[in-house]
Chains A and B, each alone.
Chain A
Amino acid sequence: MSAVTPAVTLKASGGLRRRKIVNKIMEFIGWAAALAAVAVLFVVIVSVLLRAWPALSWNFLTKPPALFGQPGGGISSAIVGSAIIVAMATALALPVGVLIGIYLTEFAPRSVAQPVQLVLDVLNGLPTIITGIFVYGLLVIGNGQSAYAGAFALAIVMLPLVARAAQETLLLVPSALREASLALGVSRWRSVMGVILPTAVGGILTGAVLAVARAAGETAPLLFTSSIFQLGTVTTDVSKAMPNIPVLIFTYSEQPDQALHEQAWGAALVLMVFVLVSSLLAKALLARSRRKLGR
């Protein structure tokens, strides 16, 4: 027993106290940041819902836009146009993207696969308006705008997404499956088509759905390829520019007319519902394919 009693308490003091306070502040900032992100999403969705509500009706979805200056009318021509353009883009991008994925995982040596991946990633980050300008120079000059030019531009946007998704899923296919198939004497292409692709189909579909969701909302590639159109009639003529939802929202939002703003909000809600539902669907597909691949 010495005369000096050390003043040890379990309460933090001095340096430790300061460190704990700093820690608490930083944890608070983390919570605030996460809350802010969720709040912004919430505010955007709620304001689209609130403002789109008055515009929504059965006629809004099934009637073409009214003539200039007349009330009423819907966006059916834009819905049909968007669906056709995106469907054509998917038909173009999906097979090519999957083939690239197969090449990267099954055939390409590292020295070839790496530059191809780099190109895909750079293509993915390219400003989409540049894609629009490219297709404008390639297909529109001399021929005029058309739905297939728009679809080609959207396909360029979708291609790297589909290809990387296909590649990543194919890599997840257990090599035991691949080896088992080859060991049974099955040829390379039959094991790709009969064993490897079917196993990976869920993940590839997920990538495709995400790419469709992305393409459906893209406006910039369509500005130069399918933006000068007859809005008033539903058309299925792909050799002419087709009305579509993104360009419709863009054009209406630039006008000072209240009625057009209301229509733009309605169209925005239709687009958002489509995009968000597709994203959820993709998530569900992904979860399913992960279970199937045993991960």
Chain B
Amino acid sequence: MSAVPSGYSLRSSTRRLTDRIGDVALRVVTALAALAALVLLGAIVWKVIHLAWPAIQHYGLSFVTGKTWDPVKGVFGALPFIYGTAMSSLIALVIATPLSIAIALWLSELAPGGVRGVVGSLVEMLAAIPSVVLGLWGILVLGPFLADHLEPWLHDHLGFIPLFGPPSATGTGLFTAGLILTIMIVPIIASICRELFLQVPNELEEGALALGATRWEMVRGVIIPSTRTGIAAAIILGLGRALGEAIAVTQVIGGGTTISANVFGPIDTLASKIAASYQGAASGLEAASLLYLAAILMVIGLLTNLAAQVIVRVFDPLKGAH
């Protein structure tokens, strides 16, 4: 009984007190930090809508369907830029989706051990290139190449499709923007898909091979079906990135306000229009309209991201594989 030295009680010593305060303080401080993140997102949504409010009141929803953007006449509508956003993202997704799935399959199934890690790192490095550098490359290297070679070729051979109209003179336009966006989203989709494919249980893959399936039949019959929802989420995340990219697109898309079927023509996306006009808004109404574009972009961006996150969370990305 006398083993406990006198004066050493298990309760209410000073050390205990600092610990109690410390525990509460750490819990409160970290909770406040988490709360700050929630408040931040709320504040962003509120502030951007608030900034756009004069234009929202002035135009209402007809702004979204307005086909004209003419600062001289003071008429502003968002449709050309919504079209530009949709088309540039569509071009990027059409090219990037099969390409990134193929890269991810190669990395997870085909690559020889020695180069697998290296190529994986290189693909991730592609994602690390700053968008402004990619845009610089797009406007000075890729653009001229496209204008001189690929665009005339596509126009000559597939010109009967209205999409492939007369080539651009300098290589800036919707098509170039789509290709730059492709380069930006391929590493995103590919690295997510690679993780998914690696999670597919080996027994399933080996089972398919043991039944006599070829590698491709194993991919088509086992890997793709069991990771379908995850692939969808990866594609939507890529889409979110493509929709919102402002800088690289501004550099290569040429800047225009007329909707045309020709993908080689200049246009603007929502994001690129905002970035391109950041200093030049002449009238208050034009500035407000640009902020309205920002609000539309924000809503689209939030919905896309939310969709991807919900798919990942609600549906098990590996449904059926477990």
Contact = CB atoms under 8 A, between A and B. Distances in A.
A246 to B, nearest CB: 5
Interface stretch (B1-9, B33-41, B67-75, B148-156): B33-41
A99 B29 contact: yes
Contact of A272 (B20, B110, B129): B129
Interface in B211-262: 214-217, 219, 237, 240-241, 243-247, 250-251
Contact of B37 (A32, A37, A163, A268): A163
B128 A213 contact: yes
Nearest to B301: A127
A271 B304 CA distance: 30
B26 A188 contact: yes
B119 A38 contact: yes
A166 B247 CA distance: 29
Nearest to A265: B136
A171 interface: no
Given A103-B33, A130-B244, A187-B23, A223 B278 contact: yes
B198 interface: no
Interface in A17-59: 19-20, 22-23, 26-27, 29-34, 36-38, 40-41, 43-44, 47-48, 51
B302 interface: yes
Contacts of B109: 30
B44 A131 contact: yes
Contacts of A121: 305, 309
Nearest to A106: B30
Q: Which of under 10, 10 to 19, 20 to 34, or 35 or more describes the interface residues of A?
A: 35 or more
B131 A159 contact: no
B308 interface: yes
- Specify which of B36, B132, B137 lies most central, judged by the most chain A CB atoms within 10 Å of its CB: B132
A134 B291 CA distance: 10
Contacts of A218: 130
B186 interface: yes
Contacts of A51: 140
A219 B38 contact: no
A230 to B, nearest CB: 15
Interface string B158-183: 00000000000000000000000001
Nearest to A32: B102
A249 interface: yes
B26 A130 contact: no
A81 to B, nearest CB: 15
A194 B272 CA distance: 48
A127 B126 contact: no
Given A96-B36, A249-B132, A122 B41 contact: yes
Nearest to A159: B37
A47 B273 CA distance: 28
B16 to A, nearest CB: 8
Contact of B102 (A30, A129, A130, A254): A30
B121 A44 contact: no
Interface string B269-306: 00100110011000000000001001001100110111
Contacts of A31: 106, 110
Given A219-B132, A264-B136, A22 B246 contact: no
Contact of B125 (A41, A130, A250): A41
Nearest to A29: B102
A239 to B, nearest CB: 20
B58 interface: no
B305 A116 contact: no
A133 B99 CA distance: 34
Nearest to B38: A119
Contacts of A131: 44
B102 A275 contact: no
B275 A130 contact: no
A66 to B, nearest CB: 20
Contacts of B106: 30-31, 33-34
Contacts of B245: 127
A44 B190 contact: no
Given A130-B48, A133-B51, A217-B133, A103 B111 contact: no
- Across chains A and B, which 5 residue pairs bring their CB atoms closest together, nearest first? A217-B130, A127-B244, A103-B30, A187-B19, A33-B102
Interface of B: 19-20, 22-23, 25-27, 29-34, 36-38, 40-41, 43-44, 47-48, 50-51, 98-100, 102-103, 105-107, 109-111, 119, 121-126, 128-137, 139-141, 183, 186-187, 190, 214-217, 219, 237, 240-241, 243-247, 250-251, 271, 274-275, 278-279, 291, 294, 297-298, 301-302, 304-306, 308-309, 313
27 contacts: A23-B215, A27-B215, A29-B102, A34-B103, A34-B119, A41-B126, A48-B133, A96-B33, A107-B30, A116-B37, A122-B41, A126-B301, A126-B305, A127-B301, A130-B298, A133-B48, A133-B274, A156-B40, A187-B23, A190-B22, A192-B26, A223-B278, A250-B132, A250-B247, A253-B139, A268-B137, A272-B130
Given A119-B38, A122-B305, A125-B244, 9 more contacts: A38-B119, A120-B37, A123-B37, A123-B41, A188-B22, A189-B19, A219-B130, A219-B246, A279-B128
